[in-house]
Amino acid sequence: MSALARRLPRAWTQLSPSERREALAGYLFISPWIIGFIVFFLGPILASFALSFTRWNIVGTPQWVGLDNYERIFTQDPFFRKAVTVTLKYAAFYLPLEVIFGILIAVVLNQKLRGIGVFRTMYYMPYIVPKVASSLVWVWVLNPRYGLLNTMLGWLGVNGPSWLSDPDWVLPSIIMMSLWGVGGSAVIYLAGLQNIPNQLYEAASVDGANRLQKFVRITLPMLSPTIFFQLVLGLIGTFQTFTPAFIAAGRSGGPLQSGLFYMLYIYNRSFESMRMGYGSALAWILTVFIMIITLLVFRSSKYWVYYEAERKRTK
Amino acid sequence: MTITRHLPRFGLRGLQRFNNVSGYTVLMVLSALFMIPLYWMFSTALKSPQQTFAIPPEWVPAPAQWDNFAKVFDEVPFGRFYLNTFFLVFANIAGHLVSVTLVAYGFARLRFPGRNVLFLVMLSTLMIPYQVTLVPRFIMFSKLGMINSYWPLILPAFTGSPFLIFLVRQYMMSIPFDLDEAAYIDGASRFAVFWRIILPLARPALMLVVVFTFIDVWNDFLQPLIYLNDPDMFTVSLGLSFFQGARETNWNLLMAGSVLAMVPPLILFFFAQKQLIGGISVEGLKG
């Protein structure tokens, strides 16, 4: 216990010789991360910022162009606008659906039934499939003529759309593909559900609450920290969607660029047309945008995320 | 309390049975939604070209073309892709096991000025999309002449991964400090404490490092796409995507390839199911 309570030293000069030896060892132990942080993170981020003010195709020397890249992106680049629209639309539909389905499936999996483990495994399995493979599977499932989905729609007398070759259906297709992997987040919600103390439900039953009331008044508030956590991760991940777009829509973004996700656009500009400066500017815009959104979600959390520990403290 | 438990007992049992039936129905319908695409992948993988493009589609291919799986290896260097990916997976696991444990130990068990600030800095890097580092990293590796080599895909692993460091550090924090103290009194060095005491006790967390690294590297697509040009060096995911471009119509072989691509992570999943799902809940809780 005394060891746990040991105070963290403030400044080098206040340390005794043995504390200095411990501190030195500490720096030595964490040095791999420090090196990685500088070489693979901080350095590249600063370099990326500087590069975003240049024009450079990797051979030759970078040419300083000031704010030219940013100006062009915001005023003359129709692909940028398209990429932003596609990505925002995707996020606006996919994220809420992921949360809703994730929670619903977690609730279904939280039943105390024999053999529930088998179902848990089955729901989780699509999440294990490598993204390239699962995207390919869906391209084949969505094949307008021979695909499974249109065949099954045919049984119902519905003439299925041509999915990935129809600009209106590309985004819904990719949303559906991503939702197939919702088992990944359902498992996390499930862990959250299992942490809710059973007494809460028992007490509510005594008070005559029905299932829906229990869900809205107990489950959702108790789950809100998990939802918050998933939302933050989901936001960051959604804006970075690359592989499904690359495989399903194609590397240039599909019909009428209807699947031109922002990350795909960064890839195209940076590595297909080798415009390092322009690509860096695009990446910086994405980064700043994600940071702002994340900050907003964090700010909003005090209105809707319920932390038991905090509640107790204020009482 | 006891009265309310006993009174409606009979009714409860009937309700329970109804709940079970409806519960299983929902479970079955949902599992169909999740499993049908997988089944479709697997059955297409066993079809001849004619069977693949049959209308209406054959649900159970007869006869099943098991040699499709062999054909994949003939048509594209799939064996090569497998070896390449396994090599990358093991190199990354080795890198993470070394770096993540060292750094996590430093953050968890040693005191030094600035420790908490540095730890926060590390966590905050999780919030910043790695794409912003993609272009400069590419430039750096190309200036070092490392494009079309495995170095860009391996070297970063030896500097750790913030998420895994966080995970292992949390685990190491839960090991009683008395153990270290006792060892120090016996004259053990810091490295000995790390190596002989903390590492063996942190084995469950290390399993997580192995599993997460395996899945991440096996599934990675963007980085191999950027850094590798030579088809002989492709990973499974990358090779599969080129297979799609080259032979748009060979869906049976493409699906056979997809099945082969999911086998290793699937096997790992069955072995590590407990750790994986438990580990994810750790991740969920500490966030």
pLDDT of residue A1: 37
B39 CB near a chain A CB, below 8 Å? no
pLDDT of residue A112: 85
Q: Is A55 helix (H, G, I), strand (E, B) or coil?
A: strand
Q: At what angle do helices B162-173 and B251-286 cross, to 10 degrees?
A: 40
Q: Which residues of chain A make contact with B267, given a CB cutoff of 8 A? A: none
Q: Is B57 in Cβ contact with A151 (below 8 Å)? A: yes
For chain B, the average pLDDT equals: 87
pLDDT of residue A247: 93
Distance in angstroms (rounded) separating the CA atoms of residues A148 and A118: 25
Q: Which residues of chain B make contact with A6, given a CB cutoff of 8 A? A: 111
Largest separation between any pair of C-alpha atoms in chain B: 79
Residues paired with residue A59 on neighbouring β-strands, in sequence order? A57
A-interface mutation test, from B3, B20, B24, B27, most A Cβ less than 10 A away: B27
pLDDT of residue A116: 87
List the structure tokens of A229: 């956590």
* Nearest-neighbour CA in chain A from B186: distance (Å): 16
For chain A, the average pLDDT equals: 90
Q: Which residues of chain A make contact with B262, given a CB cutoff of 8 A? A: 128-130, 133
Residues B242-260: tens digit of each pLDDT: 887 665 568 899 999 999 9
Q: Is A188 in Cβ contact with B283 (below 8 Å)? A: yes
pLDDT band at A252 (very low <50, low <70, confident <90, very high): confident
Question: Which residue's structure tokens are 């040419």?
Answer: A63
Nearest to A185 by CA among A116, A122, A123, A112: A123
ipTM tops 0.95: no
Among A1-10, A154-163, B11-20, B48-57, the range with the most confident prediction by mean pLDDT is A154-163
Does residue A315 surpass a pLDDT of 70? no
List the structure tokens of A18: 């043995």
Among A192-196, A304-308, B155-159, the range with the most confident prediction by mean pLDDT is B155-159
CB of B261 within 8 A of CB of B237? yes
Residues B15-25: tens digit of each pLDDT: 677 778 888 88
CB of A304 within 8 A of CB of A224? yes
Nearest to B255 by CA among B62, B53, B87: B53
pLDDT band at B155 (very low <50, low <70, confident <90, very high): very high
B179 CB near a chain A CB, below 8 Å? no
**Of the listed ranges A129-133, A184-188, A261-265, B98-102, the one predicted with least confidence:** A184-188
Q: Is B142 in Cβ contact with A58 (below 8 Å)? A: yes
Q: Is A61 helix (H, G, I), strand (E, B) or coil?
A: strand
Residues A64-117: tens digit of each pLDDT: 999 999 999 999 999 999 999 999 999 999 999 999 999 999 999 998 888 888
List the structure tokens of B160: 């750790």
* H-assigned helices in chain A: 17-36, 43-51, 68-76, 78-109, 116-128, 131-141, 148-155, 170-179, 183-194, 198-206, 211-214, 220-238, 243-244, 262-267, 276-304, 308-314
CB of B254 within 8 A of CB of A136? yes
* Nearest-neighbour CA in chain B from A40: distance (Å): 7
pLDDT of residue B277: 62
Q: What's this model's pTM, rounded to 2 decimal places?
A: 0.88
Q: Is A130 in Cβ contact with B219 (below 8 Å)? A: yes
CB of B82 within 8 A of CB of B262? no
* Nearest-neighbour CA in chain B from A287: distance (Å): 6
Q: Which residues of chain B make contact with A272, given a CB cutoff of 8 A? A: none
pLDDT of residue B272: 81
pLDDT of residue B278: 58
* Nearest-neighbour CA in chain A from B55: distance (Å): 7
pLDDT of residue A311: 53
A-interface mutation test, from B72, B88, B112, most A Cβ less than 10 A away: B112
Q: Is A96 helix (H, G, I), strand (E, B) or coil?
A: helix
pLDDT of residue A267: 95
Does residue B153 surpass a pLDDT of 90? yes
Question: Which residue's structure tokens are 């089944």?
Answer: B39
pLDDT of residue A13: 81
The domain limits of chain A are 12-51, 71-314
Residues A210-244: tens digit of each pLDDT: 989 999 999 999 999 999 988 988 888 899 899 99
CB of A51 within 8 A of CB of A68? no
Does residue A278 surpass a pLDDT of 90? yes
CA dihedral (B246, B247, B248, B252) positive or negative: negative
pLDDT of residue A304: 87
Overall CATH class of domain A71-314 = mainly alpha
Would you give the end-to-end CA distance of chain A in angstroms?
A: 28
Distance in angstroms (rounded) separating the CA atoms of residues A140 and A134: 10
CB of A240 within 8 A of CB of B129? yes
Nearest CB to A271 within list B23, B226, B259: B226
Give CA A169 to chain center in angstroms. 22
List the structure tokens of B170: 């949390």
List the structure tokens of A259: 């699947």
* Nearest-neighbour CA in chain B from A226: distance (Å): 6
Residues B199-233: tens digit of each pLDDT: 999 998 999 899 989 999 999 999 999 999 999 99
Backbone angles phi and psi of A61, in degrees to 5: -110, 145
Does residue A141 surpass a pLDDT of 90? yes
Does residue A154 surpass a pLDDT of 60? yes
Closest-CA residue of B relative to A47 is B136
pLDDT of residue A195: 87
Long-range contacts of B69-73 (CB under 8 A, 24+ apart): B69/B45, B69/B256, B69/B259, B69/B260, B71/B253, B71/B256, B72/B253, B72/B256, B72/B257, B72/B260
Q: Which residues of chain B make contact with A247, given a CB cutoff of 8 A? A: 241, 244
Does residue B5 surpass a pLDDT of 50? no
Largest separation between any pair of C-alpha atoms in chain A: 82
Segment A9-16 shows an average pLDDT of: 78
Q: Is A44 in Cβ contact with B132 (below 8 Å)? A: yes
- Following DSSP, what letter does each residue of A128-174 receive, concatenated? HS-HHHHHHHHHHHT-TTT-HHHHHHHHTT-----GGGSTTTHHHHH
- Could you tell me what percent of chain B has a pLDDT over 70? 89
